[in-house]
Structure 1
Amino acid sequence: MDALSAMMQLWLGGLLVAWALVLLGGFVLGKPNPEGTRRMTLWGRLGSSAILVVAAWSWWWQLHQQHNLTALLVALGMSLGFVGDLCMAQVVPLKNYVLGGMSAFGLGHVAYIWAGLGIESFNVLSWLVWLIVGALGWYVVVWHDSSRSRLHQVALPYALLLASTTGIATGVALEQLPMLTFAIGAALFLLSDLILATQLFNDARWRGIGDVVWFTYGPAQALIVYSMAWLL
């Protein structure tokens, strides 16, 4: 390993530590909102996500000579995820912030799927299994709500898109076990979104639900971004 590569590894390791400190710090130093659904601060949420954007582009710089497209797609996916975070936090002034966030996350997952397909051949069985899981999750969490608005319908292809990412990532992991981090990250992302959907569509208000969303979503994105380490 040359000096530049060694420095990059230290930089990427430092970013991972910084991400964890910001995420945990945002929770520890935060105060529960009036409903008690979230303690995590805005800077903890957006700051930790921004660090992962920097890490993702750093991985692209590290890998661009050997795996340029794959690392680039993961960096784009993480960047779009950060845009989704800004939308969901209502930092970006959108009339329908939920649809804006879903659109950004959805495009990010298209990039993640493309990246996964570049790592390993397509595994139809794992994809179909996770599509079923995604569809069941959507039906149980979203569709049984009696209001059934247009957004409820849009949530189905969105859930299937996230499930497709998990299916592709699982297929990659079945062929290359070290890429299990990619698969676990994708599965956690899907889980986080289903928990968030109980808030958005079922008005769930149980204590700490917003923090549970972030303590599944944040590690999900970190695992996806740092799965690039196995391509070195």
Structure 2
Amino acid sequence: MIYLPILLGLGFAAAYFPLSSTPQSWARSIIKTVPLLAFALAAYLAGLGPFLVVGLFLSALGDFGLSRDGDAPFLYGLSAFALSHLAYILHFLGVSDAQIWDAFSTVPVAAIILVTLMVSTELWLATHTGHLQWPVRIYVVIIGTMGLSALTLPFGWTVVGAGLFILSDVILAINLFRMSDTHHHRLKAGYAIWAFYITGQALILWGGLQA
């Protein structure tokens, strides 16, 4: 029963690949939203804890928001993902029974690289986001904190999943704010964003199931 929604989610995720570069439509939005809804259902049925379930569900809402055009849906999607990361932070720290700063003593190199990436966004991202500068800045801090909380866990599927989630958001930021609509890598970037994102979320769920 648990694996049925996971397979459903992966099936819809695969179906979204050819749609990732197509214009906005309700069918596209629905197909993009289903995978994380299915993952959230699987987490709920498996009894993986409220924060993981909420994090996956909020990610589905974020997927829907980012599938629509305009600043308002973008901010809605960004807010939903920010809240999902906060839920993941609570989940990861609850599992590891550690504090955020413990990442700097257990895996200092990875933690420093992550913080350096967060700070670097002031140079290559923040100045290119216009009136969305502060929402993006806040989001960067939250997703970076999510990454640090994942680093308090033993290395495994969840840590890899969190890393892929962050990687997908880095590519998404470049795609949205640094690439023109006619950039020759834009199509490839769209595929990479979805591949890293859905794999990362699936591994976070899988890590919860394995634990």
2:148 corresponds to 1:167: yes
Shift of 1:31: 8.7
Tell me the distance in 2 between the aligned counterparts of 1:100 and 1:201.
Answer: 17
Tell me the distance in 1 between the aligned counterparts of 2:191 and 2:20.
Answer: 12
Tell me the distance in 2 between the aligned counterparts of 1:144 and 1:216.
Answer: 25
Tell me the distance in 1 between the aligned counterparts of 2:197 and 2:206.
Answer: 14
Amino acid at match of 1:101: G
Q: Structure 1 pair 32/159, CA: closer, same or farther in 2 (3 Å)?
A: closer
Tell me the distance in 2 between the aligned counterparts of 1:182 and 1:32.
Answer: 28
Checking the alignment, whether the CA contact within 8 Å between 1:27 and 1:44 is kept in structure 2 is: no
Q: Structure 1 pair 26/87, CA: closer, same or farther in 2 (3 Å)?
A: closer
Tell me the distance in 1 between the aligned counterparts of 2:116 and 2:21.
Answer: 36
Identical-pair percentage: 22
**What is the 5 A alignment of 1:108-147?**
108-120=84-96, 121-122=98-99, 123-125=102-104, 126=107, 128-129=111-112, 130-136=114-120, 138-145=121-128
2:17 to 27, 38, 56: 27
Partner of 1:153: 134
Partner of 1:230: 210
Tell me the distance in 1 between the aligned counterparts of 2:78 and 2:9.
Answer: 23
* Structure 1 unmatched ranges of 5 or more: 1-10, 35-39, 64-70
Q: Secondary structure of the equivalent of 1:153?
A: helix
1:89 to 67, 75, 78: 67
* Structure 2 unmatched ranges of 5 or more: none
**What is the 5 A alignment of 1:1-232?**
11-27=1-17, 30=19, 33=22, 41-60=28-47, 63=48, 71-90=49-68, 96-120=72-96, 121-122=98-99, 123-125=102-104, 126=107, 128-129=111-112, 130-136=114-120, 138-145=121-128, 148-173=129-154, 177=155, 180-204=156-180, 205=183, 206-231=186-211
Partner of 1:68: none
Checking the alignment, whether the CA contact within 8 Å between 1:131 and 1:160 is kept in structure 2 is: no
Query: Please, what TM-score do these two structures have when normalized by structure 2?
Result: 0.80
Q: Secondary structure of the equivalent of 1:207?
A: helix
Greater C-alpha Rg: 1
Q: Secondary structure of the equivalent of 1:17?
A: helix
Shift of 1:118: 0.7
Q: Secondary structure of the equivalent of 1:86?
A: helix
Q: Secondary structure of the equivalent of 1:203?
A: coil
Partner of 1:8: none
Query: Please, what TM-score do these two structures have when normalized by structure 1?
Result: 0.74
Tell me the distance in 2 between the aligned counterparts of 1:195 and 1:17.
Answer: 26
**1:58-116 residue CA offsets vs partner (Å, 9 max, x unmatched):** 222xx5xxxxxxx210101111111111111129xx85222111111001111100111
Q: Secondary structure of the equivalent of 1:172?
A: coil
CA RMSD of aligned residues (A): 2.6
Aligned length: 196
Q: Structure 1 pair 31/171, CA: closer, same or farther in 2 (3 Å)?
A: closer
Q: Structure 1 pair 162/97, CA: closer, same or farther in 2 (3 Å)?
A: same
